[in-house]
């Protein structure tokens, strides 16, 4: 591995305050939580203050979503069984982490499960699961995980205090399921957490969740604990935010799809945003945004190999000579919706209407392309929102003799790297790698930032395409990094 200059080294030689985030796998059992706590202990032993942000135990978020949906369809017995199973899992972990049966933590865990049971029963009675009630239910995963981490920290000799996202000061808008922090969040988080730090306590914040001005529980979108950690990091002007992972860092591709993927030593905020947006599950797409204003570095670190540097994310994009593309990523489960017909020819308002409709429906576009004759516009969206998109478009466009078609089973593959800017031949290399594998391209787009080129292809081809493109850009070789 080539040594890269570390732009953050000046400020991080002796950090005073770190925010550390632990995801579901690292919170998956008492043993995993104990190991995670020991990673906190390595820094606190050196006099560093640490704020910990945690995810739900592995699988719990999906389980909560499933049981909430079951309650809505009347399957309350199934939902209650799932809650009982989860309660056991949390009690067992608490016990293994040293909690006495009559301790405050065990009482808290019991009470939280009771509140969860009541919320789920409400959904069952109403047979209605709103985004708001779903957020309340799904937030219990993180709420229940925070006291477990506090127990593990106590075992390492640290005094800690568990908080919900709302208690930590995270105030959001009311876009339940995908809420964003309001500006006031930052002063609130600083006031609340600094008080605990000054009292010698290590705060443990439940990730993924916040609360609205009315006090309703909200969530920041799947994978949102990364975002919670960076919000806290920005609020406290932390020296760095460390997201501990079950991988060595941000890699040149998802290691599950590309076994030869390599760890990337350095990425810019912009590169990370592109990668996360185009499916690199390792970080929430908005996670770096709070860090940008104060230029706070983010490190993606390996929990299994804590001495390894991992990936450093900063404002600067450091590109070694000759490297144009740093990573390949893909989103599966995409659909292409094509609006076509004579009614669109030379009528720019149609395109304006189209985007207005999508904005109103809060539909995220992955790619857009328009033929120069303007006889058709193609939109790539997540398949989960495809039907909603078609329904929203059909009625208003019908009067204009336009046709709306949908193609399912699509994936978007993207190559990302700041070194692509002004480098010739990158697209040609991408296209010939795909052609070499006999893969047909359905749509193409290159952002004007030249940070990425993305192509839509058939979903069945995406894994082999990712491996081939990874190889074609020399990313299989450790020499590159």
Q: Which of 224, 270, 279, 285 binds ligand ASP (CB under 6 A)?
A: 224
156-185: which residues touch ligand ADP (CB under 6 A)?
A: none
Q: How far apart are CA 291 and CA 289, in angstroms?
A: 5
56-75 mask for ligand ASP (x: CB under 6 A)? x----x--------------
| Helices H / strands E in the chain, number of each | 15, 16
- With DSSP H G I counted as helix, E B as strand and the rest as coil, what are the percentages for the chain, rounded to 5? 45, 20, 35
Count of residues near Mg ion by CB under 5 A: 2
Q: How far apart are CA 142 and CA 150, in angstroms?
A: 13
Give the pairing of strands 202-206 and 160-163: parallel
Q: Find the part of the chain contacting Mg ion (CB under 5 A) among 223-231, 292-300, 317-325, 444-452.
A: 223-231
Q: Is 52 in the site for ligand ADP (CB under 6 A)?
A: no
Shortest distance, position 21 Cβ to ligand ASP, whole Å: 8
Give the pairing of strands 365-370 and 376-382: antiparallel
**Structure token pair of residue 34:** 């104990």
170-209 mask for ligand ASP (x: CB under 6 A)? -------------------------------------xx-
Q: Find the part of the chain contacting ligand ASP (CB under 6 A) among 153-161, 216-224, 362-370, 408-416.
A: 216-224
Query: Which residue spans within 282-402 are E strands per DSSP?
Result: 298-302, 311-314, 327-340, 365-370, 376-382
Q: Is 470 in the site for ligand ADP (CB under 6 A)?
A: no
313-352: which residues touch ligand ADP (CB under 6 A)?
A: 327
Q: Looking up tokens 């704020």, which residue turns up?
A: 51
124 or 269: CB nearest ligand ADP = 269
Q: Which does 141 bind (CB under 5 to 8 A by kind): ligand ADP, ligand ASP, Mg ion, none?
A: ligand ASP
Those residues whose C-beta lies under 8 Å from the C-beta of residue 277, and which sit 6 or more positions away, are 285
In the DSSP assignment, the letter for residue 251 is B
Q: Is 141 in the site for ligand ASP (CB under 6 A)?
A: yes
Q: Is 223 in the site for Mg ion (CB under 5 A)?
A: yes
**Structure token pair of residue 192:** 């609340």
55 or 202: CB nearest ligand ASP = 55
54-73: which residues touch ligand ADP (CB under 6 A)?
A: 55
Sign of CA dihedral 109, 114, 118, 120: positive
Helix (H, G, I), strand (E, B) or coil at 371: coil
Q: Is 247 in the site for ligand ADP (CB under 6 A)?
A: yes
Give the pairing of strands 49-54 and 403-416: unpaired
Terminal CA-CA length for the chain? 5
Which residue's CB comes closest to ligand ASP? 225
Q: Which spans of this chain sit near ligand ADP (rule: CB under 6 A)?
A: 23-25, 55, 223, 245-247, 250-251, 253-256, 280-282, 327
């Amino acid at each position: 591995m080539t040594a890269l200059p570390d732009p953050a080294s000046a400020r991080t030689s002796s950090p005073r305050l770190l925010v550390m985030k632990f995801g579901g796998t690292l919170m998956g059992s008492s043993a995993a939580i104990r190991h995670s706590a020991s990673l906190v202990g390595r820094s606190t032993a050196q006099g560093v203050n640490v704020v910990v942000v945690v995810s739900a135990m592995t699988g719990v978020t999906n389980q909560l979503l499933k049981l909430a949906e079951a309650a809505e369809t009347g399957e309350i017995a199934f939902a209650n069984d799932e809650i009982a199973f989860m309660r056991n899992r949390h009690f067992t972990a608490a016990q293994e982490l040293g909690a006495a049966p009559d301790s405050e933590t065990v009482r808290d865990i019991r009470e939280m499960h009771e509140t969860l049971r009541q919320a789920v029963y409400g959904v069952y009675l109403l047979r209605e699961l709103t985004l708001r009630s779903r957020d309340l239910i799904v937030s219990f995963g993180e709420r229940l995980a925070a006291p477990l981490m506090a127990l593990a920290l106590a075992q390492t000799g640290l005094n800690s205090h568990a908080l919900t996202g709302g208690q930590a000061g995270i105030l959001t808008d009311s876009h339940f399921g995908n809420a964003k922090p309001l500006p006031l969040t930052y002063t609130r988080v600083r006031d609340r957490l600094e008080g605990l730090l000054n009292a010698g306590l290590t705060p443990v914040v439940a990730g993924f969740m916040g609360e609205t001005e009315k006090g309703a529980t909200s969530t920041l979108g799947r994978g949102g604990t990364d975002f919670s950690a960076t919000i806290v990091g920005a609020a406290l002007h932390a020296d760095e935010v460390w997201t501990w992972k079950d991988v060595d860092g941000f890699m040149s591709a998802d290691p599950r799809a590309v076994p030869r993927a390599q760890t990337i030593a350095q990425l810019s905020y912009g590169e990370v945003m592109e990668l996360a947006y185009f499916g690199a599950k390792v970080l929430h797409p908005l996670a770096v945004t709070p860090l940008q204003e104060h230029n706070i570095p983010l490190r993606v670190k390996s929990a299994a190999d804590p001495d390894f540097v991992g990936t450093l994310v900063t404002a600067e994009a450091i590109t070694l000579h000759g490297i144009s593309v740093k990573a390949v990523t893909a989103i599966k489960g995409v659909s292409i919706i094509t609006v076509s017909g004579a009614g669109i020819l030379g009528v720019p308002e149609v395109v304006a209407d189209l985007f207005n409709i999508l904005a109103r429906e809060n539909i995220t576009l992955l790619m857009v392309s328009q033929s120069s004759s303007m006889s058709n516009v193609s939109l790539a969206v997540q398949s989960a929102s495809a039907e909603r998109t078609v329904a929203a478009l059909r009625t208003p466009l019908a009067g204009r003799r336009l046709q709306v078609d949908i193609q399912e089973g699509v994936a978007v593959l993207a190559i990302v790297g700041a070194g692509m800017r002004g480098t010739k031949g990158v697209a040609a290399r991408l296209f010939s790698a795909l052609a070499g594998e006999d893969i047909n391209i359905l749509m193409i787009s290159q952002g004007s930032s030249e940070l990425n080129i993305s192509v839509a292809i058939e979903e069945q081809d995406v894994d082999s395409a990712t491996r081939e493109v990874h190889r074609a850009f020399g990313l299989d070789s450790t020499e590159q990094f």
